[in-house]
Amino acid sequence: MADYVIMTDSSCDLPAKLADEMELAVLPLSVYIEDKQYYNYLDGRNISFKDIYAKLRTKCPAKTSAVNMDAFIGPMEEILKSGRDILYIGFSSGLSGTYNAGAAAAQELAGQYPQRKLLAVDSLCASLGQGLLVWHAWQHKQAGMDIDALYQWVLDNRLHLCHWFTIDDLMFLKRGGRISGATAVVGSMLSIKPVMHVDNEGHLIKVSTARGRKASIRALADEAGKRGVDLENQTIFISHGDCEDDANYLADIMRSRFHVKDVLVNYVGPVIGAHSGPGTIALFFMGTER
């Protein structure tokens, strides 16, 4: 059975140490802040996550740009030349063109390396939701699943990867065009927080609102209670926009209410954080449906 590599991109937001242990190939995406480009390495080597969020809090202009196919060609070709196949699990096509670029690169290289397998799957996930899907895929790879079976497993299970999150600063949603200026101002005055999720097309969708920060965090746990499957045997992931205390508050709720097996907490990386802003809290788990 041919060896293969799981490849993803840095919007997976996995801790660098864990990604290394999993022997992932991770393509760094980038963000522009004050017109300077910063690469989103998982270890924050180009710019630390603390520094990114400090800049965002001062309202520095931040934007992201689509990665092109050429960015994938070199890293993919290096793996193929080593005699290994590739399963690429990419950032949701509902939020970014990254997956399409990776899939195009795989198709381009398939003709040059007919003896190798290059499979690309749209995760329809983001942040540690993407990371959790990749982590589950790696668990199956470790158990001996071959690349074709794992590709099918990811396709079959990606829509059971639940993403629930809340955003603290409504002005970031306003800048992204997701709510009106009037809604952002009134919501901020009344401390109304949106409760959102990623839908089956990989888009961000507002579902409800909560009055106050703690209530919005508890609402995320409530959704896990409605949709989670066998939570006591799950490792769940939580990502945060430089608000680790709030992330730990949610982790404590998940442990006390649902007795989850384990919790991993990490930053929302700068690519997604540039749009969601400081104070974002997101919960990821496997469930019956999104």
The CATH number for 80's domain is 3.40.50.10170
Judgement on whether residues 165 and 148 belong to the same structural domain of the protein: no
Judgement on whether residues 171 and 69 belong to the same structural domain of the protein: no
pTM over 0.85: yes
**Rounded to whole angstroms, how far apart are CA atoms 234 and 286?**
8
Per-residue pLDDT of the chain (290 residues; tens, 9 = 90+): 569 999 999 999 999 999 999 999 999 999 999 889 999 999 999 999 999 999 999 988 888 888 999 999 999 999 999 999 999 999 999 999 999 999 999 999 999 999 999 999 999 999 999 999 999 999 999 999 999 999 999 999 999 999 999 988 766 666 655 555 555 544 555 578 889 999 999 998 888 889 999 999 999 999 999 999 999 999 999 999 999 999 999 999 999 999 999 999 999 999 999 888 999 999 999 999 99
User: Range of 239's domain?
Assistant: 160-286
Judgement on whether residues 181 and 119 belong to the same structural domain of the protein: no
Start-to-end CA span in the chain (Å): 34
What letter would DSSP give residue 47?
S
Strand partners, 30: 39
Q: How many folded domains does the chain comprise?
A: 2
The CATH number for 249's domain is 3.30.1180.10
Which amino acid, 284? F
In terms of phi and psi (left: phi > 0; alpha: psi -120 to 50; beta: otherwise), the region of 230 is left
